[in-house]
Amino acid sequence: MSGNVQLLSDTLAAARSEGRAALIAYLPAGFPTVAGGVEAVKAALDGGADVVEVGLPHSDPVLDGPVIQTADDIALRGGVRIADVMRTVREAHEATGKPILVMTYWNPIDRYGVERFTAELAEAGGAGCILPDLPVQESALWREHADKHGLATVFVVAPSSKDARLAEITAVGSGFVYAASLMGVTGTRESVGAQAEDLVRRTRATTDTPVCVGLGVSNAAQAAEVARFADGVIVGSAFVKRMLDAPDDAAGLEGVRALAADLAKGVRGQV
């Protein structure tokens, strides 16, 4: 069975044809429970997200700030497994028809087996993977299997990336390029800053692949700011924080749905 890389590309192209950026939400699998995590992903999509990244919780994250680390810890203590991540992708995609990616560090895939992971992700209807710590020069095996199974390979670029490095990354990535708006870990910020705009400009000089910006966006005004220059706006910690701060699971889901609706207005310039 082939994955949904084409659905991801079509979704980003459709947003562009509407004269707007796509809204991409991030939520970890297994938080607050496996079933609750599925409902959270569906709530983000129902609220207005175009795409969701499902996080594979990791005990030693490189990119994730304290909010997502807290959620990951809850998921890990709950016993979340890769099978639960696949379930989350499958059920959210079947319920909404929208593209779902997995965001994961490399070690869990390496231990699970690349062929097994890509085959199962494609079978679940996944659109691809974001791999923040996989060096491009060591990615050939992954890309071979991802391509075979119709999955996007999304790499992360940072403000520190030199132009030659950007070209090296964008030459082999697919789906979209994840542009980290600043140096550091995930989390909401007061402003997203000029670094992100410069990084998008430099990345676009190397590729026609959409460039989506993450790290720091937490409200509609910031989403609108980033949407002026990026193809997609990625929001993670703000969604997770809504759930962590909620008095119960139902309120958490409503918070996710409401934030998605607010951010959807932002990427459309309706703020």
What residues are labeled active site?
53, 64
Q: Which amino acid is at 200?
A: V
Closest to 233 measured CA to CA, from 260, 205, 255: 260
- Contact between 54 and 101 (Cβ < 8 Å): yes
CA distance 34 to 31: 6
Tokens for 182, please give them: 């600043």
* Sequence-ordered list of residues with C-beta below 8 angstroms from that of 86, at least 6 positions apart, any chain: 120, 121, 123, 124, 126
The residue among 201, 146, 148 whose CA lies nearest residue 177 is 201
The SS3 call for residue 43 is helix
DSSP SS3 for 236 = coil
* 37/34 Cα distance (integer angstroms): 5
d(Cα 81, Cα 62) in Å, to the nearest integer?
Answer: 19
For residue 235, the surrounding DSSP H or E stretch is strand 232-235
Tell me the three state secondary structure of residue 175.
coil
Question: What secondary structure letter does DSSP report for 171?
Answer: T
Helix (H), strand (E) at residue 65: none
DSSP state letters, 118-142: HHHHHHTT--EEE-TT--GGG-HHH
Q: With the CA atoms of 139, 69, 252 and 213 taken in that order, what torsion angle do they form, in degrees rounded to the nearest 10?
A: -50
